[in-house]
Structure 1
Amino acid sequence: MNDFVKIVEVGARDGLQNESVVLSLDDKLTLINNLVDAGLKDIEVGSCVSPKWVPQMAGSTELFAQLTKPTDVNFSLLTPNLKGYQAAVAVGCREVAIFTGASESFTQKNINCTIAESLARFDDIMAHAKADGVKVRGYVSCMVDCPYEGAISPVAVADVVARLIDMGCYEVSLGETIGTATPDKVEAVWHECQKRTDTHLLAGHFHNTYGMAIANVYASLNMGIRTFDSSIAGLGGCPYAKGASGNVATEDLHYLLDKMGYQTGVDKDKLMHAGKAIMERLGRTSRSNAAIAYWQSK
């Protein structure tokens, strides 16, 4: 199999924002440089949000400005509003991410507005991005289940995805935010989205609370999805979903893809070292099964 699968590394943002340890700028630079060295080409650097709400993301624009930026690596920043977008562009960022949800309750808790209001807030960002030639990626939380509402209709998810594509997002990542989904539920969502959106515009973002992330990735691959978000060493969680654990570990995702014959451009050994280094800095053990097995074999 020669299919290429794009891995979007979100550990430096979605991962670290849920860690109790607030890393220094130098620590974050080291993490991202290690990820680049491992061959990852799409890396979310941080988030342009108030440090009052997410102290772990303080200094994201400074971090972005100090990065060595190889021409073949795509670095992005999460921007919840126009102010955040302008801060990102001011440091030379050429891709931003915007986020909403498929659950009204979750969206209210997460960004303090309705789904419709969140989409309206993006109008200014999309207009500026179009004028500036900046790419915009969309995120949709709660693609299967919501911690407040329970099951979410696949049609509701597809509606939000279609709106984001229509607004100008070049890709939309669907987040299985609380990690409760099973492959059949994930397939149902992809099926509904594919009725309205080209498959190559869709990405999967799976959390591993119940150990289902890799199974859900496999199901998504079978549905034609070829872009997945992941977090080095399984960093992360969700502050609005009690008990939700980290994203699928990049090491585990790479193991699956590599063994199935997909191309990723990632160096396994360097990836393992990147995960080991960040977990040593955080004083925790990796959540990646592949990484644990790798180091036990050494």
Structure 2
Amino acid sequence: MKRATATLLISCPDQQGLVARISNFIFANGGNIIDADQHTDFEAGLFLSRIEWELTGFNLDRELIGPAFEAIARPLGAQWQLHFSDRKPRLSLWVSKQDHCLLDLLWRQQAGELDAEIPLIISNHDKLRPIAEQFGIDFLHLPITRETKAEQEARQLAAIADYGIDLVVLAKYMQVLSSEFLAQFPQVINIHHSFLPAFAGANPYQRAYERGVKIIGATAHYVTPDLDEGPIIEQDVVRVSHRDDADDLVRKGKDLERIVLARAVRLHLQHRVLTYRNRTVVFA
């Protein structure tokens, strides 16, 4: 078994000696650093870092690490997160009628590629309930209309709380989340079937076909109140040609959607993503 580790994600105004201060905190408490990366955005004046160390032999108990590091972070003006590798995040997958991203994530989780628990699937349609039953996962069917949206989002938030969900993944959930929902639960990843910012919104494959593009893509991003404009985590592309019709673009695009969404979820679960100014740093 892998040894348990702690991971710090840090962002703060750039200044001298940051790497030394952070690494010395770990060294002074008997920690063995196994991975460290940093990036400086000179235009924004920000220093961003990810540092991971083994907990075996570390002198501080887990509940004391945060308060001890806060004494260092506060004078630096730092924002930070602390995560432990042996705590499995809990995911809720949200879908409509398409099953390709849902099945891909479930297979990867079952194969051990995604180190997380998936106790809940939510859908605005009942079509994919048999998949949830096949994998032994609770399925919540909440139809959405303009009139019932606020009521159903309240039920979604209640379910998230009841199941202790850490991350919602929109695995082809063809609904827009309200700003009120996101204000209460912002940890949401979406897969969009185009290479954003091109073809945001609905029917991107048809619009790409009509435009005669030679490359199509998929984009996984964090969800914000602005449609398809959240911080981008992962993207990829595939070539298409004049011989491809709109259905070919959909088929090729679905392959990309699966891969891109799985990569983004894995990076998030490994605590390798920092967001700032509607952008991300991905410590791959």
Give TM-score scaled by structure 1 length: 0.32
Higher normalized helix content (fraction of residues): 1
**Structure (1/2) with the larger strand percentage:** 2
Instruction: State which structure, 1 or 2, has the greater radius of gyration over its C-alpha atoms.
Output: 2
Higher relative contact order (Cα pairs below 8 Å, separated by 6+ residues): 1
